[in-house]
Amino acid sequence: MVPIIRVESLTKVYKGETKPAVDAISLEILEGEVYGLLGPNGAGKTTTINMLTTRLSSTRGKASVGGHDINRESMAIRRIIGVVPQDLTADEDLSGRENLLLVASFYDVPKKTAAERASKLLNMVDLADAADKHVREYSGGMRKRLELIIGLINEPRVLFLDEPTLGLDVQTRSVMWDYITTLKRDYNMTIILTSHYLEEIDALADRVSIVDHGKIIVTGTPGELKASLKGDIVTMGFRDGQDTAPVKEYGGIIEILDSKPGTLKIRVADADSELPDLMGFVFKKGISITTLSVQKPSLDEVFLRYTGRSLREDAPADRFKNAMNMRRMRQA
């Protein structure tokens, strides 16, 4: 299968900077794939998306979308892509429907077709009732839904979603996930999605690249990445004052992750089948356990493993709120 997006050593060094924001990334995305870019603040996700959507020039390397070169054929690319940028772009003084029709006119969609598509899309994201209200009256979740369908008004083959659920509550987020899943299933749309949320990538993406400091650190299916951790984590808590060193001699330990007086965190191949053995071993050494927990690998852990940091150190929800407030203030 021919990739619909090819990226080769793509690099961006912003004017006046020395360190690249995007540092020689390479990837290939197949038609119909949902491809995730996962990384913390400043990793280079938006910069990558902006280059691929021809909003930003690249410094080095090359990339094509639908066979069109990002530097030389930007118009051809813009016709086949939809973009839902990280920043909110809808005009607050227009209604949701007016925003859609405006963007449709940029794409030269005939008026009648545009009106039909707008109604259909507004229905799809349950905005039919709010369609003719000013966007300034929309809630954060309504705005994100509107932004999503603005990206769909030209019926794109490839959709770029930059943080589609940033700052949304858990319920609204899962509603967005349903819409995104529908696009993949019913329209075979290729979707490039950036996110801070591991659960989101896990739920939606066929493949994911973890990015950090402008570089791709690892690429695979969420399942492959989790499997690369090889095993489950078992955390044991012991009654105070015992010598628990003998537990570390247990043969099934792949790795000791943490060892403090009173607790031991280890990795074993498969906790489900090994726990009875492990418990028997500990019991035979005359050590008593007070707490026990098993953790299956998560993308969170994959991230930690490859970057040495936790993704949760960010507070994306607050950033989003600030962005919304700034915008309101600017326009007040």
Residues lying near ligand ATP in the complex (CB under 6 A): 14, 17, 21, 39, 41-47, 86
Quote the least distance from Cβ 47 to ligand ATP, whole Å. 3
Q: Is residue 234 a contact partner of residue 266, using CB atoms and an 8 Å limit?
A: yes
Nearer to Mg ion, 122 or 166 (CB): 166
CA atoms within 13 A on the CB side of 309: 14
User: Of 17-46, which residues contact Mg ion (CB under 5 A)?
Assistant: 45-46
Instruction: Give SS3 for 328.
Output: helix
Nearer to Mg ion, 45 or 117 (CB): 45
**Partner touching 113 among ligand ATP, Mg ion, none, CB below 5 to 8 Å by kind:** none
- Nearest 5°: phi and psi at 290? -105, -30
d(C-alpha 73, C-alpha 54), whole Å? 9
Quote the least distance from Cβ 5 to ligand ATP, whole Å. 17
Cβ partners under 8 Å of residue 255, min gap 6: 231, 266, 267
Quote the least distance from Cβ 176 to ligand ATP, whole Å. 17
Quote the least distance from Cβ 85 to Mg ion, whole Å. 9
Phi-psi region of 310 (alpha: psi -120 to 50; beta: other; left: phi over 0): beta
Quote the least distance from Cβ 93 to Mg ion, whole Å. 26
Cβ partners under 8 Å of residue 122, min gap 6: 96, 97, 100, 128, 131, 149
Q: Is 11 in the site for Mg ion (CB under 5 A)?
A: no
User: Of 76-115, which residues contact Mg ion (CB under 5 A)?
Assistant: 86
**Partner touching 313 among Mg ion, ligand ATP, none, CB below 5 to 8 Å by kind:** none
Q: Where along the sequence are the contacts to Mg ion (CB under 5 A)? A: 45-46, 86
